[in-house]
Structure 1
């Protein structure tokens, strides 16, 4: 089965269930018909992510590189780089441990305040209009504003960084130039923090006992930024959509907050921002889910499909505090502690501030008109148009 095309956006859940009929692990073709394995069984995804000695992250292990064109659209996901993403064993533990330590120092109360201020600033920009696109004008912006702050970037640099990040995600000639500017900005930031360290993530990485080089710090700062921006932004957007279209969660829009956390968790089960992850590479010949996997084979982790596995998926609306989903990955190469907790603080705070500021917000279109971006990897809306009673800006 070809795992690309329009159906990914139209009905990903249906597609995953069709694939599941062939078993928990099945052969697929990625873009340009490059072969891989797609893992949709929860137990199988858990097994892979729990055994990095059998299923590793270094993409140079791939046995199909001779079939991959240089212009392959998925090259940004699999092209090896000296980042924490592709590190293994002790090297990965050294780098990921430093990142986790640098993030864990963040005071959660201060992080909440940073997020509240960022959300208020963004809402101020459209509060008087009575209409807004909560994807472009809010959900995708909040994580970047927060990341820039905890990175210790000067306030004046934040709008430029936000613009460059937006352009880097486009599939045109602007993307490469934007990537170059972001990389250069991180290099300059690390240099500045050597001279003027502060209570920020880059300064903590520089001072960490892991002895990171400046090159390692720069590329890992970029990894953390990318991993935080799109998934957290889509988590906010997908949750706002759920709360605006689903009666079960609309009580929050009527003045209560109790269901924000529940809605966030429901989205991780049903419309998780990171749908699939590419990937792992088999270290040895092995058997998985009744399939014979060869050394060097690529396995794509179907995180959304694993969440929908009938053996583990809670009934709709009954997810509650069940956090056994695979939305943050699992194991050594899952989203590192405490990143999931910090992402939840950002998402929850952003939504609560929005509902406090715009209590009568509602969809400006029929819910069926909302369109998902056609991506195999990320689940997010093109836009989320809403209307509300215009209100005055505030300063915080």
Structure 2
């Protein structure tokens, strides 16, 4: 420079040494505000500030590693970030604990079981009614629907047609229907002693089976005629031609009370006498097992043999519930009666209370259990007496699902 050349040599050398410092000072004085160091940056950090800086340094290091940057020097990282305006990062917070109530646990899927009674609800159906009321079946995932038939002769036929899962029936009925080709099978026993009876008014002149000659007998079930009545008459040298038959269905009590019939055949011995007594009509009875008919199960559950495998699990649950209900009824008869009339208020009468006591002592304690010899003996009897055309193996007549 011209000015420098005009100065003495010693001054020129000194100015050359000071020039870089002068230029640096000018740059710092005129630079942007964001480039100026803050007081915090020029002061040593306190111990607390240093502790706070450590997480930030770790975060910066992680960020540098994630982006492939050099994280070896915290100062270099800071210098790089200070080279321009600071960017604002959006941080999404992820909760470590789920807030709010948990999702409800879905109950197991419910399967429907439809049972058709053989009669209007009565104390002899208590095992089914109380098993449903206890709620044990629902806990097992089974919803039990119980219906009353319009005609007492149709329940088993509904099961054979696939329109119901189970029907309440009688062992003699089962043998006869299987012989006709219906795909039916016994899966449980509710009452394991005969229930059917022949009932007459106490003021009647019928004191012996032979006195039935020329009389009118009311009935509800076809199997009450063959094999029950036919066997009783044959036992005394008579036939069905010696009597007149009238189908009265559910009106048994009224038919005998009003003397529209002289006797009732197939009347449940544990229920009908009590109901007639309530109407002021005392009765006498004749028992089929004392008139030539083999012992048999009085009340059973009938399933469709072709559909049994698909329903086996649900039927197993039902049988477990029936066994628990029966055991509870035997142990607590008064509480069981209260629950029964709570479920079926129409049963709350002195006559049904009397029928309840007569029914309870006949309940099968283990509904699934099968008396193979009993079914074999009855089938042989029917075949020998020509009530059925062919003899069917017991395994196609009755099963214990729990042992299969």
Structure possessing the higher radius of gyration over alpha carbons: 2
Q: Is the TM value for this pair above 0.5? A: no
- Could you state the TM-score of these two structures normalised by the residue count of structure 2? 0.23
| Larger RCO (CA under 8 A, 6+ residues apart) | 1
